[in-house]
Structure 1
Amino acid sequence: MTLPKYHLDRARAQSFGSDSEQYDRYRPSPPDALVDDLVALRAVDVLDVGCGTGKVAVALAGRGMRVLGVEVDGRMADVTRAHGVPVEVASFESWDAAGRRFDLITCSDAWHWIDPVVGSEKAAALLRPGGTLALFWSSYLLEASVEAVFQRIYDEHAPKARTHSYEPLQARSEPFEPIAAFGPVETRTYRWDTTVSATEWVGLLATFSDHRALAPENLTALQAALYEAIEDVGGSMAVSRGVHAAFARRL
């Protein structure tokens, strides 16, 4: 399956910082099991690419790693710095590492915004031998009955947006460019069930780029209709959350 070239849509790629506090409030932190697996790599120096508001960077720093973030949006970077992790503002493709090397490079829900060829080659150059590139994407699966109701709401208010109840395409396709510097790719899935309130769900949706691209009045109408639908079933709903990760070791 050929993935859309998201990295070419720079306006959409750099749209998240316009409400960085909402992004920080509603985007989930990585699951403990994923953080445990990253810690088990025994990395000392970590580079978190497209660190956003620091969800992954803060978790790893809290486990004793020396973490540096790279983030294209200064407003997002400010939130990460407020959490105590240093960030340098630049696109990963143009970022100057100034000779620094890393044991682990992470990227959560952002690698599709990076040129896949340049990104893989640069990651390989920045990793010490034996270091790991770890890419991961989040997913949210709804019950079929809820998804059907939501789809009707999207058809009415935002036919070009997705309900975001799906497994990410990136997790089912090769996430790394096939360059010789990396060994075989290992994939892992971390899944857990949770309950999400109407406020949490509509707040989360507003952080996704396809929803941010909607006209404000359309987004408001969509959120109101979804909120009402969730309230009609008790004010919360079951969500199966997942993180789909791919690891490749630098040869």
Structure 2
Amino acid sequence: MPTIPREQSHPSGNEPHRARRMAESFGVDAERYDRARPRYPDALVERIVAAGPGPDVLDVGCGTGIAARQFQAAGCRVLGVEPDARMAGFARRTGVEVEVATFEAWESAGRAFDVVVAGQAWHWVDPVAGAVKAAQVLRPGGRLAVFAHAFELPPVVAEAFAAVYRRVAPDSPLNVRPAGDGRPPERALTLYQAMFATFADGIREAGGFGEPERWRFDWEQAYTRDEWLDLAPTTGALTQLPPDKLAEVLGGVGAAIDAIGGGFTMPYATLAITAARIGAA
């Protein structure tokens, strides 16, 4: 789940790939990350596989291998590229082949792929250099597909999170103002759509691809208090907090969830930008 800094509220300032400390902070608890993070809709995986010319998939920023394992289950051969050795090590233990590198610096050694995917990761890649690299390693007719989950917490939970986060990390550059603060409820989705517009612009600028397509998959997931508090520390806003401040944030959020009955149902929109490789390899 991308965490969008304030300066990214406009696509022209969208350069989270330069925030390497945060980009490589998620491996602090790789086991929790893999356990708590939501999977991707089966319909998304099936559509990507059907749109590619073959089974060879390169998973950029594969993390612990969540998406990679889903593509393996769909019959694909998957190679992951992941800059965090802790995340890569976990993915390997689950049966995913992974090479440790940022995508921009990764060496393909002449290998070619039918599909390049990035789940919850393309915002950590330079949008133009990443698309150029994808075009270089895709076979003609191959497909680049980048995707992520957009979601809105219930207003009372989002407000509790924002209040306690501002208290424990007042100097954080992260934009954590919640739904329910006077902004439209689609605010998070609007920010994600702007980020995905930047991805599409990067694909166009890179060349070698047809016009990017936008896909969207809507779904829901129910969370108990404990399930959400297990997931929350894997998000970019919290991966770098010291234990005492993290505990304070989770305490405030947990109390808010208790106040609404001990759980909630989260509406998700999984967004994707995808484009086909055209021309010679």
TM-score w.r.t. length of structure 1: 0.92
Deviates more, 1:206-215 or 1:139-148: 139-148
Deviates more, 1:229-238 or 1:61-70: 229-238
Is this contact kept in 2: 1:142–1:239, CA < 8 A?
Answer: yes
Q: How many residues align?
A: 251
Report whether the alignment pairs 1:15 with 2:25.
yes
Match of 1:48 in 2: 59
Match of 1:175 in 2: 199
Unaligned residue ranges in structure 2 (runs of 5+): 1-9, 180-187
More helix by percentage: 2
TM-score w.r.t. length of structure 2: 0.83
**CA distance 1:191–1:71, shift in 2 (3 Å):** same
In the alignment, residue 171 of structure 1 is paired with which amino acid? Q
SS of the aligned residue for 1:239 comes to strand
Is this contact kept in 1: 2:30–2:87, CA < 8 A?
Answer: yes
SS of the aligned residue for 1:107 comes to strand
Please give the residue correspondences for 1:90-239 in structure 2 after superposition, counting only pairs within 5 Å: 90-159=101-170, 160=172, 161=174, 162=176, 166-167=188-189, 169-172=191-194, 173-176=197-200, 177=202, 178-239=205-266
Unaligned residue ranges in structure 1 (runs of 5+): none
In the alignment, residue 217 of structure 1 is paired with which amino acid? D
SS of the aligned residue for 1:84 comes to coil
Is this contact kept in 1: 2:164–2:249, CA < 8 A?
Answer: yes
What's the C-alpha RMSD, in Å, of the aligned pairs? 1.9
**CA distance 1:164–1:18, shift in 2 (3 Å):** farther
Q: Deviations over 1:118-163 (max 9, x none)?
A: 2111111011111110001112223344434444444444454526
Percent identical residues: 40
Is this contact kept in 2: 1:171–1:245, CA < 8 A?
Answer: no
